[in-house]
Amino acid sequence: MVTGMRTVWGMSLRYLLVLSTLSVLSIGAYVILDRVVADNGDSAARINIAGRQRMLSQRIPLLAQEVAHNAVLRSARLEELHAAIDLMERSHAGLTHGDDRMGLPPSVSAPLRARYFGPDDYLDREIKIFIREARAFAALEQSRQSAADPHLAYISQAGRNALLASLDAVVGQLQRESEERVRALQNMQLGVLLLTLGALVASALLVFRPLVARIRRDVARYREYEENLSIAKHQAEAANTAKGEFLASMSHELRTPLNAIIGFSDAIRKQVFGPPPHPRYCEYIDDIHNSGAHLLELINDILDVSAVDAGKMELYEDRIDIGELIEASVRLIKPRAAHRHIRISVALPDPMPRLHGDERRLRQILLNLLSNAAKFSPEGETVGVAVGVTAAGELTIAVADRGIGMDDAEIATALSRFGRVDNAYNRKLEGTGLGLPLTKALAELHGGRLEVDSRKGFGTTVRVVMPQDRVITVAQTRSDPDEKPLRLAEQEA
């Protein structure tokens, strides 16, 4: 164990070392590349503006010539001349001293500074003289702006020729500097690539190779676990199949005599062939009949739960009138509830929606909920049933009581198979703990869900929510299934 932990720690430290190296290389490469890209952006801006300045050195003389020779276009060309002179002056200031609006930094390289301000060249002076002569010509009165003007002669001949050569040299210098930066960037990329490859090779040798070996051992161990789990799964499936077959055979063997017991005891209870020889036999017959019916109900619930677990329960779906189904279910429960003076109130929307589902299974859901509500309600209380349609179009059937209530742990117990909430009141009542889990399974089989809201000492509300695609007619008037049953109970009480 200690050796394994040391191995893991050793691999972790080496992995962290490799990651740290790669992180430092990545950060350094990013900083360098960001700087180089920024410098290239500055160079591109300088080249663009230097080229524009060269173009202006040719355009300004052409505009001045049109001002001097074309009286019709003189005013328009004179405005363009002033704009071109201003632009050339701003471009020159930006190239030599920087301009944030143009994206130019204030610094220039040493070769360019020597070309602008000497001793290699004095381009700064030439540009300023050219701009001065152009402004002087543009400022003349229109009558004096002629082809013989010396200012026009300078910017058209001597000044322009000298300036063009100097500006070409500036553009060439800027292009060479940009190419040098690109070469430096390529060298940096190559260096970073080589360092990264070295770090990756080191990580492969120091970290990943021993890690792969360990993973292979773990995979072999997990495969062994998987094989054992698969064997256990097959054994469990075989046991489940045997259980299903046993329940199916036992159900037939038990149902046949139970049906006979229930049928004959019912005939004797109704005195079909005359009264029994002694009155006490009537009590015995009632006990026999009730016990047989309870046992048959238990067997049916167990079989239904087994069918749901095996995925073999089928739904025989049809259009169902929920109102009629609720009324029929209430009629079946009322005699049992009447023994404890429990009333059942029903609140249905108008118009009543229909539902697409299995009528027998939905009746089973309602009977289970109503039976539980009546069973756990104090004597003389009211059980409420309400139907509503939510804003999402889901159909909600709520059954509410004012019984003993449950906390969260007891709700989880009640929803589990054969789970019964352990309290003094519950011990007096019959039950197998299958009704609520089976109700939940049947609701989910319809694509719905079961919701339980309960408060200890205040009662329980159980809602069956069916999906919107099963609702055939959406009710216009929606009731609140959480509260209305109890409000109706208060009114009727």
Together in a domain, 331 and 196 = no
Round to whole Å and give the CA distance between 199 and 192: 10
Please give the pLDDT value at position 247. Answer: 65
Which pLDDT belongs to residue 430?
58
181 and 323 inside one domain: no
With CA atoms as reference, report the closest residue to 174 among 338, 18, 44, 364. Answer: 44
**Dist CA 368 CA 397 (whole Å):** 13
pLDDT of residue 448: 92
- Sheet containing 449-455: which strands, arranged edge to edge? 343-347, 382-389, 395-401, 459-466, 449-455
- Domain end (from 179, 211, 243): 211
Tell me, yes or no, whether 94 lies in a domain: yes
pLDDT digits (tens, 9 = 90+) for 187-216: 877 877 787 777 777 777 776 777 777 778
In which domain, by residue range, is 24 found?
A: 2-211
Which of 211, 226, 260 delimits the end of a domain? 211
Is residue 311 assigned to a domain?
Answer: no
Q: Distance between CA 455 and CA 376 in Å, rounded?
A: 13
* Residue written as token pair 């050569």: 165
Q: Do 356 and 474 share a structural domain?
A: yes
Residue 400 lies in a domain: yes
- Shared domain for 325 and 198, answered yes or no, is no
- Choosing from 186, 211, 236, the residue where a domain stops is 211
35 domain-assigned: yes
Does 398 reside within a domain?
A: yes
- Which CATH number goes with the domain that contains 446? 3.30.565.10
Mean pLDDT by 10 residues, the chain (493 residues): 56 69 72 65 76 84 84 83 87 79 72 75 80 86 80 75 77 80 77 77 73 80 88 83 68 74 81 77 78 74 71 83 90 86 89 88 89 87 91 91 86 77 53 77 90 88 92 55 42 34
In a domain, 293, yes or no: no
474 and 343, same structural domain?
A: yes
Judge contact between 192 and 29, C-beta under 8 A.
yes
Residues near 149 by beta carbon (within 8 Å), at least 6 away in sequence: 68, 137, 140
- What integer pLDDT is reported at residue 397 of this predicted model? 93
Report how far apart the first and last C-alpha atoms of the chain are (Å, whole number). 72
162 and 33 fall within a common domain: yes
Based on its alpha-carbon atoms, the radius of gyration of the chain, rounded to whole angstroms, reads 48
Q: Are residues 199 and 342 in the same domain?
A: no
What gap in Å lies between CA 91 and CA 95, rounded to an integer?
6
Task: Quote the tokens at residue 257.
Answer: 């005599």
- Give the chain's domain count: 2
Same domain, yes or no: 324 and 196: no
Q: Do 326 and 192 reside in the same domain of the chain?
A: no
- 354-358/382-389 β-pairing: unpaired
> Considering the domain boundaries, does residue 242 fall inside one?
no
341 plus 484 within the same structural domain: yes
**Per the domain annotation, does 349 fall within a domain?**
yes
Tell me if residue 97 falls in helix, strand or coil. Answer: helix
H, E, C per residue of 276-326: CCCCHHHHHHHHHHHHHHHHHHHHHHHHHHHHHHHCCCCCCEEEEEHHHHH
